[in-house]
A and B are shown apart, each in its own frame.
Chain A
Amino acid sequence: MPKVTIDGKEIEVAPGTSVIQAAEQAGVRVPRFCYHDDLPVDGNCRMCMVEIEKFPKLQIACGTPVTDGMVVKTQVTSEKAKEAQKNTLEFLLVNHPIDCPVCDQAGECYLQDQYMDNGLHDSRTVIEEKIAKRKVVDIGPIMLDAERCVVCSRCIRYEREVTKTNLLQFVNRGGSTQITTYQGGPITHEYAGNLVDVCPVGALLSKDFRFKMRVWFLKETDSICPGCSTGCNITIDHRDGEAYRIRPRRNVEVNKSWICDPGRDLYKIIGAGRVTTAHRAGGALVAPAELLDEVVSKLQAAGANSAFLASPRASNEDAYAFKKLAQATGGRLDFRVGNPQDKVNVRKDQILQREDRHPNTNGLLNLGLGVTGVDALLADCKAGKVQVLVLQDGGILRDSAVAEAAKQVPYVVAFATHQGPSLAAAHAVIPAAVWAETDGTFTNFDQRVQRFKRAFEAPGEAKPRWEIALELLTRLGKPINAATAADVFVEMAVETKAYADLTHRSLGPKGRPSAERAQAQASA
């Protein structure tokens, strides 16, 4: 393990680490444009200059691997490095337009940040002499502004290495170099949004987010994408209870720095068409407490003649509380419609997406749900053996098999997040929160337990599904000693082998493999 001294601080790093990574580990961020943690090193922007002892000239930190005994001085301690970075920045700004007031990147722009950190020079360029390039070019889900580009080639390397589509390339030379797509065509793959995140400046901007909000107003909440069983780590950017966008959060074990565009679009479902009030069939409003009392009395009357249909969209906490509810009633419990467990590991493409479009199929399997299969449960419903059917996700009524079976059940309870015509089949609709509105955990395809945090309040009377289940359990006289999702997780960890020794806190921001998976990994 080579030892390296960075700004007087000695640290030990893995062999093959570059100076820029070692500096990051020592707590120093060397400014950069072209270097990206998950892309191959190119070393073209010349921004990350550092002084290394015994090297006659300054070196680029991204392209220099550390060796044992190396002594590095970054811009923090080296005047030479600082001067070099300042001059590089001035060159990069020579042809940069003064667009900051209208540029969506403002606030998270490397040029702005680094100008404020170590530039602060007066411009020596005459505005009229700046080279004009193409502006506001529509390339599918992205807006291209070639004038703002710093020619770092991050997007080109992303297209080459990650999506392998090679849709972007440089044209022209020298100061006129600019980025373009082949024949000006659109970006067609499902990972275009990452180009926006990869771009350090405002050259590639999201068309969806365009002009919606200035980024400094947004608050960030760590979350997990609920779009498929991959469980990509994401950040939800929101303001005043409204989500504005989803960005990937780096997790080398799962999604690196990427997410797919369908996942990126999921912020739209948070606010649109939500169920906000407890109501009966036909939309007659009723106080939530009164409705819960009614559900409990029906459940008590039905006893073992009740059935519970869990949802793989629900978190582990939701599923556990729901399972307890089924056990307290004595009813049957299942969750599969189709066979999501068969698809949980099947890739949809070679990058991130998986065929199972539910985030928590493995979580429900770990809890021992789904023993008999939904088909048998639905057959019982059709045969009239079921008095009360509780659906953890009202959306499942869109499935024709479930809708058919529900018609034969005298009392259908649905925890519903979104409105829809199929919801009319439910006799009691209890508004439920979506994933962004509660704490919880998902277990992904790889048995990795990952935590998502609450970004904002659920709308209206909506509550997290675990909370609804807890309230029903309390009314049934079998309360669980839990006030938060973390408490529920603790209760669950005691009973469930897969989650032994895990708590919300110990999961950390990047999640951990379940107990069994960790064992398997250790033995392998």
Chain B
Amino acid sequence: MASSVIIVNRDTKPGYYPIFYGMWLTLRNMLETLFVKGRSATIEYPEQKRNISTRYRGVHLLTAREDGTPKCVACYMCATVCPAECIYIEAGERPEKKIEKYPTRFEIDLLRCVYCGFCVDACPEEAILMSRENDLVGTSRAELVIDRENLMHRGKLAEVGAGYRPVDHDVRRPVRIAALERLKSEHGIVPGMPGGRR
């Protein structure tokens, strides 16, 4: 027999102890869950919610300029980088010659999206961010293809807070800092701090 073969001795007799130990463990966990505070593995969702990371990649949101129009300039960077090809954009002309372009349509198919956050990284304008909203419910597929207006006014945003953004405090990029400050003043969202009820 080759030297690499290990012979396992299965002729052991553990007795009854392990069986009773396992039963006791199960019983103890059950009793602790029922009567000891803070030992419960479950929460009473949706009244209670888990504290999600501030870098959580939930449903997207589009940020706005001071006049309420989208910051997005329809450069298609997000649609280009998107591995799920779930972003659809149509571009139109803005009257301001310095900006020139904006999205007349901006739709994200949330059922197709893989929530990778590449769109957020690719955006040169800090126009697309992700919220921490993750309890997504719809009664039809069409309902979960959300359009520009919907993306700009996410109803639950104040409740759940913003999630994934590119590097939060990058002092080399004043544009980004300004965008984060506006996010704070307009939506009351402080990046890096937990939002919502907790």
Binding site for B on A (CB under 8 A): 99-102, 106, 135-136, 210-212, 214, 216-217
Contacts and interface: CB of A to CB of B under 8 A. Distances in A.
B77 A135 contact: no
B93 A101 contact: no
Interface string B77-95: 1001000000000011100
Given A99-B100, A102-B73, A214-B80, 11 more contacts: A101-B73, A101-B101, A101-B124, A102-B75, A106-B75, A135-B97, A135-B98, A210-B93, A211-B93, A214-B76, A217-B76
B76 A102 contact: no
B27 interface: no
Contact of B77 (A99, A101, A211): A101
6 contacts: A101-B75, A106-B75, A135-B98, A136-B100, A211-B93, A214-B76
A99 B125 CA distance: 12
Interface of B: 73-77, 80, 91-93, 97-101, 124-125
Contacts of A214: 75-76, 80
Contacts of A102: 73-75, 99-101
B101 A211 contact: yes
Most buried by B among A99, A106, A136, A211: A211
Contacts of B92: 211
Nearest to B94: A102
A136 B97 contact: yes
Contacts of A136: 97, 100
A133 to B, nearest CB: 11
Contacts of B74: 102, 211
List 5 tightest A-B contacts by C-beta distance, closest first: A101-B75, A211-B91, A102-B101, A135-B97, A214-B76
Nearest to A214: B76
Contacts of A101: 73, 75, 77, 101, 124-125
Contacts of B99: 102
Contacts of B75: 100-102, 106, 214
Contacts of B73: 101-102
Contacts of B101: 101-102, 211
A217 B125 CA distance: 21
Contacts of A217: 76, 80
Contacts of A99: 100
Contacts of B80: 214, 216-217
A212 to B, nearest CB: 8
A355 to B, nearest CB: 38
A212 B92 CA distance: 9
B109 to A, nearest CB: 16
A96 to B, nearest CB: 15
A311 to B, nearest CB: 36
Contacts of A135: 97-98, 100
A214 B124 CA distance: 16
Contacts of B124: 101
A197 to B, nearest CB: 21
A512 B106 CA distance: 47
Nearest to A134: B97
A212 B101 CA distance: 11
A135 B98 CA distance: 8
A477 B124 CA distance: 64
B62 to A, nearest CB: 15
A136 B124 CA distance: 21
Contacts of A100: 75
A211 B124 CA distance: 17
Nearest to A216: B80
A210 B97 CA distance: 14
Contacts of B76: 214, 217
A106 B77 CA distance: 11
B48 to A, nearest CB: 42
Contacts of B100: 99, 102, 135-136
B153 to A, nearest CB: 24
A99 B73 CA distance: 10
Nearest to B89: A214
A99 B99 CA distance: 9
Nearest to A132: B98
A179 B125 CA distance: 29
A102 B74 CA distance: 7
A119 B125 CA distance: 23
A295 to B, nearest CB: 42
A217 B74 CA distance: 14
B90 to A, nearest CB: 8
A309 B117 CA distance: 59
A210 B94 CA distance: 13
A217 B92 CA distance: 18
B75 to A, nearest CB: 3
Contacts of A216: 80
B125 to A, nearest CB: 7
Contacts of B93: 210-211
Nearest to B92: A211
A136 B100 CA distance: 8
Contacts of B98: 135
A257 B153 CA distance: 49
A102 B73 CA distance: 6
Identify the interface centre among B80, B101, B125: most chain A CB within 10 Å of its CB: B101
A99 B124 CA distance: 11
B60 to A, nearest CB: 18
B166 to A, nearest CB: 15
A214 B75 CA distance: 8
A214 B73 CA distance: 13
Nearest to B75: A101
